[in-house]
Amino acid sequence: MRYYPVFLDLRDRPVLLVGGGAVALRKSELLLRSGAALKVVTISAQTPLLDLASAGKIDLALREFDSSDLEGVAFVIAATDDLAVNARVAAEAKARNIPVNVVDAPQLCTAILPAVVDRDPVLVAIGTEGTAPVLARRLRERIEVLLEPSLGALATLCANWRQRVRARFSTIPQRRQFWERVIDGAPSADLRTGHPLRAERSMAELLTEQASALEAKGEVVLVGAGPGDAGLLTLHALRAIQDADVVFYDALVSREVLELIRRDAEKIAVGKRAGAHSVAQADIHASLLQAARAGQRVVRLKGGDPLTFARGGEELEFLRAHGIRYRVIPGVTAAAACAAYAGIPLTHREHAQSLQLLTAHSAQALDTLNWRALAAPGQTLAVYMGVAVAPTLVMRLLAAGAAPTTPVAIIENGSRPEQRVILCPLNELPRRIVSDSVKAPALLVIGSVAALGRELAWFGQAPLDWLRSAPAQTLAVAA
C-alpha cells in the first residue's frame, strides 16, 4: 500500500489551486465545500471562477505560478494543461513537505484525490493510487446505490445524541448495542421515510428504555420484487431485502431476486398459484404478526407491485389492526414490465388512449366486470392471471362486441431469460394457450397495441406470431 488513507481537515486553512480550466473548477467546488481558504493562481480563468472571486469566496490571482504562492499553504493541487508547470508546482511543494496532487500525473503526487460518495457527514473515499481513476468512479457509482440518502441525517442524529448516550450507558458494549439498535431500528427507519421528528422521539424512547413495546411489535415492509428481472428492483427494495431478518416470499418472486436476500436471513415460501394455494392468507397474516412481535425485521416480498392484485391491501389492514408498524416499497407491476420487455406500448396515440388492468384469477371474478366497456375500441386491456379462464374471457369480450381479430399478446415469464411472447387474434386465444402449452406466470395484453410486438420486440426470442394470416387493415382498427 503506497498511500496512507486519511481525511484532511482543511477548514479555514490556506489551500493553493493552480489552474483555471474545467478540471480546476471541479476541484475548487469540493475544496470550498470542505471550508478551505482557497487561493487560485492561473493565467486565465473560466467564468464561474471569476464569479467566485467577485463574490469573495476565493482569492484569484490572474498570473503565472510563483514559488512564493506556497508560503503557509497546507495543501496544493496542480490542474493546468501545461505539464511543465504542473511538474514545477509539484517539485516546489515537495521541497516544502506540502502535500500535492497533480491531476492525471500520479507519479508527481504525494496525495491522491479519491472518488467520493458524499452522505455528509458520512464520506466514502475510493482510491486506486492514481492508476485507474475511471475504475474508482465506477466503484463510486456502485456504492452510491447501496447507501441510503438518509445516511447523512442518521449520522447527524447520532452525533446530536452521542453525549446523552455516553451519560446513560457506562460501558462500550452497552453503547455499541444501543447504536446497533438505532442503526437497524426505528430511528433509522423514521429518517428513511422522511420523519425526522419521529426519529428524535424514537431515539428518546430507546434511550430511556421505554421502547420495549415498540420493539416487540417490530415492523413489516411490503416489497415489490417486480416480474422477475432483478435489475428492475428499486434501490429501496434492494436495501430492504438485504436488511431483513426474515423474508416471506411469493411463488412469483424469481430466483435471481431471492439470491439478493441477505445470506443469513430466514427465507419462508408462502407462495400461491392459481388452483394450487400452498399457504392460506390467514396463515400468512399470522406469520407476519408473529415475526414482527418477536422484534424481527420482516419483509413481505411479492412479485410485481405489492398493492396491485397481490393482496397487499389486506395485509396492511391486518397489520394496522394489530398495531404493527409497516412500510410499502412499490415494485414494477407486471403489465408495465412485461409489455415493455415484449416491445408493446400499453398506450399509443394511434391505437390506445386508455389502459385497464384486470385480474381474472377465477370465472367468478369475471362476473363483476363491465364487459361492454371492456370491449370498446381505443384501449388496452392488461389481464393478470387470465390463462386459466381464457375461454370465458374471450366469450365475454366477443359477446360484448369485441372484434374476433383483436390482437392479443400472451407474455409468459415476462422479463426473465425464458420469456416467451405469443401473438394471436382474440378468437384463437384459448386454442393457442393449449397448443403452445402456455404456463403461468403469463400476462395477456389485448388491443391493437399487441400487434406492435411483431416489429418492436427486443428482448429474448422473437415472438411466435399467429397474427400473420389476419388482414393488416383489420389489425389497424381492432381494439
Q: Quickly count: other Cβ atoms within 10 Å of residue 444's Cβ.
A: 27
CB burial readout 174-209, b (16+ within 10 A) else e: eeeebbebbeebbbbbbbbeeeeeebbebbebbbee
Instruction: Residue 46: give its domain's CATH number.
Output: 3.40.50.720
The pLDDT value recorded for residue 360 is 77
Q: How many domains does one find in the chain?
A: 3
Q: Within this chain, do residues 462 and 440 fall inside the same structural domain, yes or no?
A: yes
Mean pLDDT of 165-189: 84
User: One of 27, 190, 229, 272 is an active-site residue; which one?
Assistant: 272
C-alpha 194/C-alpha 412 separation (Å) is 38
Q: Which residues are 304's β-sheet partners? A: 226
In-domain check, residue 447? yes
Residue 471 has pLDDT above 70, yes or no: no
Are 215 and 377 in contact by the 8 Å Cβ rule? The answer is no
**Strands, E assignment, 218-281:** 219-224, 246-249, 266-269
Q: Which helix (H) or strand (E) holds 61?
A: strand 59-62
Give a yes or no: residue 155 inside a domain.
no
Q: Is residue 173 part of a domain?
A: no
pLDDT grade, residue 475 (50/70/90)? very low
Whether residues 327 and 339 fall in one domain? no
Q: How many CA atoms lie within 13 A of 476 on its CB side?
A: 3
Domain for residue 97, yes or no? yes
Domain that holds residue 25: 14-113
Establish whether 94 is a catalytic residue.
no
Least confident of 258-262, 269-273, 372-376, 411-415: 269-273
Mean pLDDT, residues 197-215: 74
164, pLDDT greater than 70: yes
249: domain CATH number is 3.40.1010.10
Judged by phi (left if over 0) then psi (alpha if -120 to 50, else beta), residue 453 lies in alpha
Is residue 217's pLDDT more than 80?
no
pLDDT, position 178: 86
pTM of the model: 0.68
Res. 215 pLDDT band, cuts 50 70 90 = very low
Instruction: Give me the catalytic one of 69, 190, 250, 305.
Output: 250
**Among 332, 355, 383, where does a domain finish?**
332
Does residue 168 lie in a domain region? Answer: no
| Domain-located, residue 165 | no
Tell me, yes or no, whether 198 lies in a domain: no
| Among the listed residues 427, 468, 424, the one whose alpha carbon sits nearest the alpha carbon of residue 450 | 424
What is the pLDDT, as a whole number, of residue 473? 36
Q: What is the CATH number of the domain that holds 356?
A: 3.30.950.10
In a domain, 405, yes or no: yes
Grid cell listed for 141 = 457509482
For position 479, what pLDDT does the model report?
31
Q: What's residue 209's pLDDT?
A: 64
CA of 395: how far to CAs of 390, 399, 426, in Å?
Answer: 8, 6, 10
Write down which residue in 113, 128, 147 finishes a domain. Answer: 113
My answer on whether 325 and 342 are in the same domain is no
88 and 33 in a common domain: yes
Instruction: Please say if 250 is a catalytic residue.
Output: yes
Distance (Å, whole) CA 463 – CA 411:
9
If asked whether residues 67 and 88 sit together in one domain, one would say yes
Where is the domain boundary, 64, 95, 113? 113
Domain co-membership, 327 together with 419: no
Residues 378 and 463 in one domain: yes
Q: What is the pLDDT of residues 300-359, one digit of tens each?
A: 999 999 999 999 999 999 999 999 999 999 999 999 999 999 999 999 999 999 999 999
